[in-house]
A and B are shown apart, each in its own frame.
Chain A
């Protein structure tokens, strides 16, 4: 059982009425890695996360978490995984310490170890001096830290982070990134969903790009970029008419382009040799380029 991957999804389908949220999804998250599910809103990331906690049940396919097959063994799987939800569900009728204490009990941490677990949770959340503060009085960043500490309280082997930094200030986002990096370096498997490319590039060993309920590409960020974009991208600025002209020329030469706002990015720029229209800034390709090329959609 210890040799099974942290997460294994095989041909998983999940429908909500006429909408197919997860569409024949295959996914494998190796133990000990930080794995990113990347995709725009509505790609099926959150539904995938809920499938892994038994809070959604697949219509078809197999779902395995840490060797436990769901939904049957969902309880055993939940006992060894931790969840940091996208929608803040802290208990606002309780204090910071009580939130942790209740979850220590829900996870059946033995009575003798409970106080120590709550203390460690307060340390992880960096809220030791606010143990008796009602959670309703915490700032957004503090709440997110407490949610993470709550998810780690019982020493899980797998942590599911659903859009961990959505809606937070850049500064707080940086703090959380270092927390996530520490979780990963402690040997815990991390599966995070995000629509922030930078977050996935910085933190994840592997990413899977999701689009319309499927994985359209998976691998290390570097691999994905080299495989689907090449080594360089030429970013050309100009008027809408000039940009349209560049698109025509590039596409005629078999090069792919990506329009965003006031610029056109010419992909495969390493194959450009001194075309007169190709005047702009060369830059390194990003996962965002990969995403747009593979899905034909800009990230929100």
Chain B
């Protein structure tokens, strides 16, 4: 048996090494190859339930919202909800389980890996994963007869761009979690308002002024507005750039917060 494993590790150590982010993404990809079916199943069935329930149920009562049919309005909201669930929950649940029960991060951080790379890798992966979820939802919407413009090709990019920050948000909360019970608080206080006060199922401008302002600070609102722009036509360059800028700021803040909190949770 040979125990001397001679190889030449690279000698340069940059503060942030994209190759290590790639290694984290690679790890997730290997796992996904085995479990893709449950992701795919969920992302097909969930929108069908929403489309039938809200689309036909509510759609019978409401004919038009913000220049779109209610079904079109709600369908793009459903894509955003898929992005929210499929990015925030893995960030939160994996973040907690891998830190406390699986000790996965302990192993990874004993290698020359920084918390910043670890968080970025997992958030990037969840972003890529929700792009798949968003595309699957688009196809379901297409099957339900939603008409789409050429901008629809931008949907995966919007999904990655929002999913990164939402996953990092989940990771940040996971770092503060002391037991699984805390997840109930996060669902009630964070996920539910983000889901509802976002212009997903109804427009923000019908809400009380304070709730409307809260909604405008919700990254999912900017996501859903960009999705509607991509699928049905953008409102105008300035308005679109406000949404892009808001999501950019959100991604940056969520990543920085996650790095700080995860670092504090993992390094004594």
| Residues of chain A whose beta carbon lies under 8 Å from any beta carbon of chain B | 14, 16, 47, 50, 53-57, 75-76, 78-80, 83, 85, 87-94, 98, 101-103, 105-110, 113, 117, 120-121, 123-124, 126, 150, 152-155, 179, 182-183, 186-188
Of residues B22, B31, B104, B110, which shows the largest number of chain A Cβ atoms within 10 Å of its Cβ? B110
Q: Are A88 and B111 in contact (CB under 8 A)?
A: no
Any A CB within 8 A of the CB of B56: no
CA distance A153 to B3 in the complex (A): 9
Any A CB within 8 A of the CB of B30: yes
A-B CB contact pairs (8 Å), 10 listed: A14-B268, A79-B10, A79-B112, A83-B110, A92-B102, A98-B27, A102-B26, A107-B112, A117-B5, A155-B5
Interface size class of B (residues with CB under 8 A): 35 or more
Any A CB within 8 A of the CB of B109: yes
Closest A-chain residue to B35, C-beta based? Answer: A93
| Residues 8-27 (chain B) with a chain A CB within 8 angstroms | 8-10, 13, 17, 19-20, 22-24, 26-27
Q: Which residues of A contact B23 (CB under 8 A)?
A: 102, 105-106, 108
| Residues of chain B whose beta carbon lies under 8 Å from any beta carbon of chain A | 1-10, 13, 17, 19-20, 22-24, 26-27, 30-31, 34, 102-104, 106-114, 266-268
Q: Are A56 and B267 in contact (CB under 8 A)?
A: yes
Q: With A106-B108, A155-B4, A182-B1 known to touch, is A94 a contact of B9 (CB < 8 Å)?
A: no
Q: Which residues of B contact A93 (CB under 8 A)?
A: 31, 34
Q: Which residues of B contact A150 (CB under 8 A)?
A: 107
Q: Which residues of B contact A14 (CB under 8 A)?
A: 268
Q: Are A57 and B267 in contact (CB under 8 A)?
A: yes
Given A107-B9, A124-B2, A155-B6, 6 extra CB contacts under 8 A: A80-B9, A87-B103, A102-B26, A107-B111, A113-B8, A126-B1
Closest B-chain residue to A83, C-beta based? Answer: B110
In the complex, what's the smallest C-beta–C-beta distance from A260 to chain B, in angstroms? 35
Q: Are B267 and A54 in contact (CB under 8 A)?
A: yes
CA distance A183 to B107 in the complex (A): 20
In the complex, what's the smallest C-beta–C-beta distance from B104 to chain A, in angstroms? 6
Q: Are B5 and A124 in contact (CB under 8 A)?
A: yes
In the complex, what's the smallest C-beta–C-beta distance from B262 to chain A, in angstroms? 13
In the complex, what's the smallest C-beta–C-beta distance from A49 to chain B, in angstroms? 10
Closest A-chain residue to B117, C-beta based? Answer: A106
Q: Are B7 and A109 in contact (CB under 8 A)?
A: yes
Q: Which residues of B contact A152 (CB under 8 A)?
A: 3, 5
Q: Are A124 and B3 in contact (CB under 8 A)?
A: yes
Q: Which residues of A contact B3 (CB under 8 A)?
A: 124, 152, 179, 182-183, 186, 188
In the complex, what's the smallest C-beta–C-beta distance from A110 to chain B, in angstroms? 8
Residue in B22, B24, B30, B268 whose CB lies within 8 Å of A16: B268
CA distance A297 to B268 in the complex (A): 28
CA distance A300 to B211 in the complex (A): 60
Q: Are A117 and B2 in contact (CB under 8 A)?
A: no
Q: With A108-B9, A121-B5, A124-B1 known to touch, is A87 a contact of B106 (CB < 8 Å)?
A: yes
Q: Which residues of B contact A85 (CB under 8 A)?
A: 103, 106-107, 110
Q: Which residues of A contact B9 (CB under 8 A)?
A: 79-80, 107-109, 154-155
Residue in A50, A91, A188 whose CB lies within 8 Å of B27: A91
CA distance A14 to B102 in the complex (A): 25
Q: Which residues of A contact B111 (CB under 8 A)?
A: 78, 103, 106-107
Q: Which residues of A contact B4 (CB under 8 A)?
A: 155, 186-188
CA distance A88 to B104 in the complex (A): 9
Q: Are A108 and B17 in contact (CB under 8 A)?
A: yes
Q: Are A89 and B13 in contact (CB under 8 A)?
A: no
Q: Are A105 and B13 in contact (CB under 8 A)?
A: no
In the complex, what's the smallest C-beta–C-beta distance from A286 to chain B, in angstroms? 29
Q: Which residues of A contact B5 (CB under 8 A)?
A: 117, 120-121, 124, 152-155
